[in-house]
Structure 1
């Protein structure tokens, strides 16, 4: 926190680094010992991964950020008006909070004050966004929650009787399987009161060529982002894994309506990862699954929300009908 006059309006709470390191080691050991091999997508977002993802969001092929920003710019006042009283604004996976600014400013304009609680696995991202937001908005106070979404929900306590407006932007729900998304939404639903609302960014099913380009850009930034997982394992857990022994692959699966991303082995080798107490033999063509990006139709998302105990109260769509922001109300 470098800005003068903002420290008294920012509090950081969350998971100690040693606990996060143990979680990473466990996930690598379990995932690389499984069949098929996998590492959860949340571990793509260390400091370097978060930087690369911010670059991805500026790429011409990566439309979701622009489409969602358009909605939030144009509809922030309507979103702010969805809750009558001043809410506490909570955000899962806040990152730079660049898009969130539109909602923050609309809520401050409507109520004169705002408490904002971003939840992110990157401490650097939380502190950087707090520096900028608090310097620009003296009416704002922040509690940054450093950790995963579920732990963030447990960490946050309802300190007033004000309603919550929870944001889950960027179509992050797409990284979860249907089973995982349903379980997470049900968990969120259990923690919300009737007056609370959940705003979710949902990427819509569209031309496969558009989708595949968005997740495999010409500049190779998405490839670097995913290969950084291998570099992170080497940095944090030691051993001899090397990014140059892998290449990035992604494809659209029309049956599951999702992009599937993975790392493919290009050189046979045996990797030693002492921090995970693991030795892994890789053959050419072996794969490590890294990420899903599920896409939804309006009908399929409404059904998921209903199964989780929510009703879709409002929808906003960008001008090209690529992306939808859905306001969910507990039922």
Structure 2
């Protein structure tokens, strides 16, 4: 059976919306968070969720894993964690007088790295191979991770004791960094009504095989040359802002975003277009994901950090300064 026969193009968006509806049946509000989690899955990207305790980060990740199906593991990161706790280690078997390999909890489809910024440098280094290469090397042997594989990590932005800030190279491996806000008063009331009794249980909508098919469908979303040029201009504006009418950002940005931001904008935009029922990418899709893709990759100057400049505001200024193209599709056709 071909890919097109397995998931007809006219039902892809409906299937994804049904999966999102199941997640929203548990998670009150946080529509932006739910959408970004689904987009990250389709784009084969990892997602970093940042917010204060109790706003639903862990619950959202667990609910999504249930709805999508596949294996799931949660690792609570602590300062005393060692790499073998997550990737596995060699174990001596006295009965056979030989060493064997015990694989760690990362060998799942969905890995929830709770409070990821509490792990020390050695653990972050081991996790980097998992995220970047989707494999683990133990005793000279390489063990590939299951497909699909995604890391959903959480961190608390207000704690300072016992935490290790994520290095830039690891932040760059996350497709998205999503800030999870407190709910509104109306949403808080809905949480009270929904969760103070027996909490709702989500139902599986997808499975790993179908998710792989949807990921392939997202990669086939058409990208017009003008949209690709727009993506490149957004990225270059972070590296040479004076060339794009933003000389004031030269003293704000220390280092612009990496080429992974370019690839991430296109991959996330394609996934969002598929979610919206289209097989082509629009500039609006790119603009909608730009802050979540680019903000955490920016390195600001010391003065900008001291002045409390938010990377999200910097990306917002770039979006206002760099004009999107006007793309005309199906030109010349009846």
Same fold (TM over 0.5): no
- How does the TM-score come out when normalised to structure 1? 0.28
Structure having the higher strand fraction is 1
Q: TM-score, normalised by structure 2?
A: 0.28
Task: Tell me which protein shows more helix as a share of its residues.
Answer: 2
